[in-house]
Amino acid sequence: MMRILALVPGGTGDQLLFFPTLDTLKQQYPNAEIDVVVEPRAMAAYRVCQSVNKVLKFDFNDRNSLADFGNLLGTIRDREYGAAIITQPIFSINILLWLSGIPMRISFAGQGDFLLTDIITADPQEYAAVQKHNLLMSLNIQNPCPPIKINLPKSDLDWATNEQKRLGIQQSGFILLNCGAYANYPAESWATIAIDMQSKLPNLPIVAIDSVNNADLLKQLAAKVSNLLITSPTDIGKLTAIIASANLFICAEGDAMQLGVAVGTALVAILGENTPASKYLPIGEKRIKYVQAIAGQSLNAIAPQTILDKIWAE
């Protein structure tokens, strides 16, 4: 049986952008076992991915000891992988994979690439999902990159249905806001957006997502926006399900943005200057709109009217 290992540093968003590569691998090698090595903060992403057999934990950015590397090396050797794909060229990881004896080691040009067997040159401006998918060319897979696909358990879909009933919006539809933390985009600006949308679409309730580190923002937002509803999904599956249920999803940059891309909901993203839209969004899709901070300005500098103009634009 063929075994393939993928090492994917980064957070949940980075994993989601790698899902198309995993899905293509599973399609081409349906009997293969595909394992991933990811950081602890990103393991939950694989709750909504069906193309992976085993998720292994390793903190790529930590000050790992020789024992940490040794443990990972032992696990990799025991599994006898035929190929390894590394989504970022990391010198220490390339050494580890060389020591593992995996016969095919694939990554982008960069640190320690002389330890690889196959090197792909990355286009830094290319959509990240396509860029990662190009690594499969070393396996003679020429398929075009498919869209990000999410597989939601029925329990999460049921939760979203019950949550809409709890909020009293199961018949009306709703607009969903993912505001992030206060530092991302201020409550005053979110309030301006929400109030304007309430005035134009009075029968479409506005729901804000309660997430980590945004309690203060939501408290300020609720004080400014009448009839604001709050939802508190407790894991990535429930978050994805509520995003999929929305008529429109407005979000600051982050992991939830990639979930919005995956489920097909109409999306308006608010991006900082260091999050280029062409790299992180499939901007050819008509349902996806974005506003980006200009060079030298923070996300906070984006005027809410600019976002509203984008929302209402044909």
**The pair of three-digit structure tokens given for residue 82, joined into one six-digit string:** 């035929």
Question: What's the whole-model pTM score?
Answer: 0.93
* Strand 175-178 with 248-252, pairing: parallel
pLDDT at residue 61, as a whole number: 83
What is the average per-residue pLDDT within 178-205?
88
Q: What is the mean pLDDT of the chain?
A: 93
- Name the band, by pLDDT with cuts 50, 70 and 90, for residue 211: confident
List the beta bridge partners of residue 289.
268
Per-residue pLDDT at 181 exceeds 60: no
What is the average per-residue pLDDT within 46-74?
91
Residue 66 DSSP SS3: helix
Angle, alpha carbons 278-282-286 (nearest 5°): 115
pLDDT at residue 74, as a whole number: 94
Listed residue (47, 97, 58) closest to 76, CA to CA? 97
- Name the band, by pLDDT with cuts 50, 70 and 90, for residue 284: confident
Domains of the chain: 3-139 (3.40.50.2000), 154-312 (3.40.50.2000)
CA distance 238 to 102: 37
pLDDT at residue 314, as a whole number: 72
Q: Are 279 and 127 in contact (CB under 8 A)?
A: yes
Q: What is the DSSP string of 205-273?
A: -EEEE--TT-HHHHHHHHHHSTT-EEE---SHHHHHHHHHH-SEEEEESSHHHHHHHHHT-EEEEEE-T
**The pair of three-digit structure tokens given for residue 13, joined into one six-digit string:** 């968003």
What is the average per-residue pLDDT within 195-212?
93
Residue 177 DSSP SS3: strand
pLDDT digits 0-9 by tens, 13-29: 999 999 999 999 999 99
pLDDT at residue 161, as a whole number: 97
The residue with tokens 């696990």 is 75
Neighbours of 12 (CB within 10 A): 23
DSSP 145: P
CA distance 229 to 266: 20
Q: Report the interhelical angle of 304-312 vs 187-200 (nearest 10°).
A: 30
- Name the band, by pLDDT with cuts 50, 70 and 90, for residue 183: low
CA distance 234 to 211: 9
The residue with tokens 């990811």 is 38
- Name the band, by pLDDT with cuts 50, 70 and 90, for residue 42: very high
* Strand 104-108 with 83-86, pairing: parallel
Residue 174 DSSP SS3: coil
pLDDT at residue 134, as a whole number: 97
Per-residue pLDDT at 96 exceeds 60: yes
pLDDT digits 0-9 by tens, 111-146: 899 999 999 999 988 999 999 999 999 999 999 999
What is the average per-residue pLDDT within 64-73?
89
